[in-house]
Amino acid sequence: MGERPLRTSIATSDEQRITVRGADLTDDLMGTLDFGEFFYFHLTGEMPTDSESRVFNTLLVTVVEHGVTPSVIAARLTYDSAPEAVQGAVSSGLLGAGKTFLGSMQDVAEIVQDGVSRIENGDSSEAVARDVVAAHDRLPGFGHPEHEPTDPRTDRIFEILEEEGMDGPYLEFIYDVQDAAEEQFGSRPLINATGAIGVGVSELGLDPIVARGIALVARSAGLVGHLNEEIHEPMARDIWDVVEENVEYQDGETR
């Protein structure tokens, strides 16, 4: 067996031309596509329809900003320590995109895509939803420390999915999971924005990894905005002062 050739279908370039997914970057794409459309095209190799573009751009905009969150605090503190390296500050803000904050949308996409696959193979939606709830101590895509009784971002995403005819099996299944969670816990947990994005990515037919990628790309823009503000209205040193003034040293063994 010969060696497997190294291949890419994404991009190439020469002296005067940059080709992306078969299109000329400068002649066909620059000044023609917005960033969300280009991102979608780069991912799939296909130009999005108007509906796909609207949904995909909506998902990106959803998680650009949510105030002075842990990722923002990390980025501002890092920038204060190393203002010559903006990339380090942005990276520090992205490193926490995990199961607790920002990153659970990939888990949701995996859950709803696996659930719908099981349903298509003959399992009942109620049984699959109960399995999902039973398998998670902390159910990805549900709950929020601030928003109630719904997450307004979720309401808008689901409204746009319906308007664009993408309120399909993945949206239906996350409601089944919500029903199963209410049955299990006695209260109805809200579907948060990460849950809605996991559904949206799935309705677009994209791989679950794209869901977390959307979070990282979008939040990068938000972090740059906060770093720009940090230059003109700094708060990193004030945050440090609050910690120094309120953290007490306790002598003894660490447990």
Burial code (b: 16+ CB inside 10 Å, e: under 16) for 220-250 equals: bebbbebbeebeeeebbeeeeeeeeeeeeee
Q: Which CATH superfamily is domain 49-66+96-231 in?
A: Cytochrome P450-Terp, domain 2 (1.10.230.10)
Q: What angle do CA 222, 228, 232 make, to 5 degrees?
A: 140
The answer to whether 223 and 128 have CB atoms below 8 angstroms apart is no
Q: Where are the alpha helices (DSSP H) in 63-103?
A: 70-81, 86-94
Which string of DSSP letters, residue by residue, matches 228-241? HHHHHS--HHHHHH
* pLDDT per residue of the chain (255 residues) written in tens, 0 to 9: 568 899 999 999 999 999 999 999 999 999 999 999 999 999 999 999 999 999 999 999 999 998 998 999 999 999 999 999 999 999 999 998 877 777 789 999 999 999 999 999 999 999 999 999 999 988 999 988 788 899 999 999 999 999 999 999 999 999 999 999 999 999 999 999 999 999 999 999 999 999 999 999 999 999 999 999 999 999 999 999 999 999 998 887 666
Q: What pTM value is reported for the model? A: 0.91
Query: How far from chain centre, in Å, is Cα 5?
Result: 33
Bridge partners for 13 per DSSP: 18
